[in-house]
Amino acid sequence: MPNDTSPSPAGSSPVAIPSSSRLPDVDLSYSPTTSKPPVTRLPLDSRSPSLASLTRVSPEATPDKVPIRLYTRSVQNIDLYIEDLEMSIKRYHLPNVDARALLDDYGLEFGLLRSCSEEFQAGLLVVLVQWETPHVEGLWLDSLKDELSSFCDPSSCPELQTISYRGEDLFAFPHDYLLQLGHIALTLSQILYELALLKDDPHRFVFDPDFRSLRALEGASDVYLLKSIWSVLIFRIKKAKQRINNELHSH
């Protein structure tokens, strides 16, 4: 776990690409409420884009406001915040990625991605960093894409524990499990939002609106209700994975 658990400042160092695969910074500062920016085609021999100046912010995270904790009740001491994808990359992923290796799997060299705009390529790269690289805190060691299925196995449901919260005895999921599940839910939400921007899709897939199901797992007086909410959330996470995979292969 990082020593500094407070939200990273907006001016922290940007994610870098190794110099051998680095292009001039790509400006993606247009508003997500507007139409797509003008399309700029990359030369066919162009190198992969840079992550250095991505500034898109999801609607759940506004820099001018105090960061909102993902959990709000019994485990609100978990230092996990509703934030934009760029901020999470700075916190939870290694500062250098092999951009070309990530993008080549989706057609940068020989496929349709080769003729897409710089803006699209850079946005897709951000998604792939979240989806296909390790989490620095070890919450997924290889990639979320590869490890999400085992996490969603029905047999992976941990044993519930009893807690006392504000004088009430509740059933709850273990603290460490909620930490990992919170990171997964936040990452999936960020990826789905970014993909909707890339596709200019006004009907963004939201698997857990306002993280209501996730937050309900902090504690409930009815053990059967708690397990039912967990089952529904796991089902939605599976659907989110399917949606992400479909979107990544349909550009």
* Residue 46 belongs to some domain of the structure: yes
More confident residue, 93 or 112: 93
Question: How confident is the prediction for the chain on average, in pLDDT?
Answer: 77
With respect to residue 39, please indicate whether it lies within any of the assigned structural domains: yes
At a CB cut-off of 8 Å and minimum separation 6, what does 78 contact?
Answer: 69, 70, 71, 175, 178, 179, 182
96-141 per-position pLDDT tens digit: 888 888 887 777 666 667 667 778 878 888 899 999 999 999 999 9
Beta strands (DSSP E) in the chain are 68-69, 81-82, 161-165, 168-172
Any domain includes 9: no
Domain assignment present for residue 154? The answer is: yes
Q: Please report whether residue 2 resides in a domain.
A: no
Give a yes or no: residue 163 inside a domain.
yes
Number of domains in the chain: 1
pLDDT in tens, 42-56: 333 445 455 543 434
Whether residue 187 lies inside any domain: the answer is yes
The range of the structural domain enclosing residue 191 comes to 19-248
Residue 10: inside a domain, yes or no? no
Output 106-109 pairs: Cβ under 8 A, ≥24 positions apart.
Answer: 106/248, 106/249, 106/251, 107/251, 108/48
CA–centroid distance for 96 within its chain: 18
